């Protein structure tokens, strides 16, 4: 069991390192590109036709990449006050069960939405 925790922590740290940094660098690059596009448009009167679309897609991609990191850290949509209260009262198994239930619930809703989209096109 101890080796499982080591592998899990190694995987979490690698995902945090790779996806977190990729997301941050992409967001910085896209912001700089958007500022350059503004300068090019209003000062020089020249603009890339695809610039605005590229900025939108890259910003959405950056946020989507960082969602993985927030889910691994359990920092997204977490009611930490309730979880801390339950942990303090000694309901450790209840907290673990609730975390598992919520994770499966989100995965199920995501799957249902994707299947619905698949058959409607």
Examine the domain organization and report whether 39 and 11 are in the same domain: yes
The answer on pLDDT for 74 being more than 90 is no
Same domain as 90, residue 116: yes
Share of the chain above pLDDT 70, in %: 94
Which uninterrupted H or E stretch holds 97?
Answer: helix 92-120
Pair 15, 68: CB distance under 8 Å: yes
Please give the model's pTM, rounded to 2 decimal places.
Answer: 0.59
Residue range of the domain that includes 115 = 77-121
pLDDT band at 79 (very low <50, low <70, confident <90, very high): low
Q: How many domains does the chain have?
A: 2
Pick from 7-21, 53-67, 75-89: least confident:
75-89
Q: Is residue 60 located within the same domain as residue 113?
A: no
Question: Reduced to 3 states, what is the DSSP secondary structure of residue 24?
Answer: helix
CA distance 35 to 48: 13
Asked if the model's pLDDT at residue 76 lies above 80, the reply is no
């Amino acid at each position: 069991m101890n080796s499982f925790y080591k592998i899990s922590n190694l995987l979490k740290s690698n995902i945090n390192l790779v996806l977190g940094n990729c997301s941050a660098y992409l967001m910085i690059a896209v912001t700089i590109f958007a500022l350059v596009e503004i300068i090019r448009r209003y000062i020089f009167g020249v603009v890339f036709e695809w610039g605005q679309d590229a900025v939108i897609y890259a910003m959405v991609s950056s946020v989507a990449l960082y969602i993985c990191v927030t889910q691994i850290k359990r920092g997204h949509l977490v009611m930490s006050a309730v979880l801390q209260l339950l942990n303090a009262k000694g309901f450790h198994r209840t907290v673990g069960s609730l975390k598992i239930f919520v994770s499966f619930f989100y995965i199920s809703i995501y799957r249902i939405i994707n299947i619905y989209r698949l058959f409607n096109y």
